[in-house]
Homo-oligomer: A and B are copies of this chain.
């Protein structure tokens, strides 16, 4: 995607009716999101909400021991900072940029103002939050019962779906491991199997998906559940401009 940046690359922003969008447009600020940037840490007060366009953000929790686990990811289908409108303004978890790219950010006060107008924006944000809850629920169950390989497939697919139109992830095994909360070696081994099967190919810091359908057969049900729920919740949404589909 070498196309110019536009807020419409984010599905939530793209779904706002003209009047609501106009109120916000002037305040949306395009910001680069470098890999590893921390959008918020436990206890820190949020200043902005982020609507990713090409970036992907990982919501995760870091334990006292230092171990961590992703609880959900946010891409161009959503927004980072739901605690602003849900209340509390902060959470015990963190948000870190997992794939570099861009996002539009909006000052927290303006977001809350718009939310409190109880218009479509509120409705959209709540629906999206419901989808996020499904993702977290599914992650909890998945962590309990599914193998590393299954989880890796799920995670690759979810990440792939959030990339504009590429099939290559800029990502080390180490990084994937910290997302799934497992050892790096575990990822290397699982990825090795997937590569052997011809579903992916990788080299130092790059993972290319060759055969989506292969990953889908090896992924656990969790991937499908999350995707289906997101598309169900946003099925009646209309977009101001043509955006191919909300969910692939």
A residues touching B (Cβ–Cβ < 8 Å)?
59, 61, 63-65, 67-69, 71, 82-83, 85-88, 91-93, 116, 118, 123, 126-127, 129-130, 132-134, 136-141, 143-145, 181-182, 221, 225, 228-229, 232-233
Tell me the complex Cα distance, A140–B222, Å. Answer: 13
Q: Evaluate contact between B181 and A91: CB separation under 8 angstroms.
A: no
Contact partners of A138 in chain B: CB under 8 A:
61, 92
Q: Which residue of B lies closest to A67 (CB)?
A: B145
Q: Which residue of B lies closest to A118 (CB)?
A: B118
Q: Evaluate contact between B87 and A145: CB separation under 8 angstroms.
A: no
Q: Evaluate contact between A88 and B143: CB separation under 8 angstroms.
A: no
- Which residue of B129, B143, B182 contacts A143 across the interface (Cβ within 8 Å)? B143
How many monomers of this protein are in the complex? 2
Q: Evaluate contact between B130 and A86: CB separation under 8 angstroms.
A: yes
Q: Evaluate contact between A137 and B221: CB separation under 8 angstroms.
A: no
Contact partners of A69 in chain B: CB under 8 A:
140-141, 144-145
Closest 9 CB pairs of A and B: A140-B140, A87-B127, A86-B130, A143-B143, A144-B181, A61-B141, A69-B141, A143-B144, A71-B137
Contact partners of A86 in chain B: CB under 8 A:
126-127, 129-130, 133
Tell me the complex Cα distance, A92–B139, Å. Answer: 13
Least CB distance, A103 to chain B, in whole angstroms: 21
Contact partners of A132 in chain B: CB under 8 A:
133
Contact partners of A233 in chain B: CB under 8 A:
87-88
Q: Evaluate contact between A134 and B181: CB separation under 8 angstroms.
A: no
Q: Evaluate contact between A85 and B118: CB separation under 8 angstroms.
A: no
Given A85-B126, A88-B233, A129-B86: A63 in contact with B145 (beta carbons within 8 A) = yes
14 contacts between A and B (CB under 8 A): A61-B141, A68-B141, A82-B133, A85-B126, A86-B133, A87-B126, A88-B130, A91-B130, A92-B138, A93-B137, A133-B136, A140-B140, A141-B181, A145-B181
- Excluding A71-B136, A88-B232, 14 further A-B contacts by CB distance (< 8 Å) are A63-B141, A82-B133, A83-B130, A88-B130, A88-B229, A91-B134, A92-B225, A93-B137, A133-B136, A136-B136, A139-B140, A141-B181, A143-B143, A144-B182
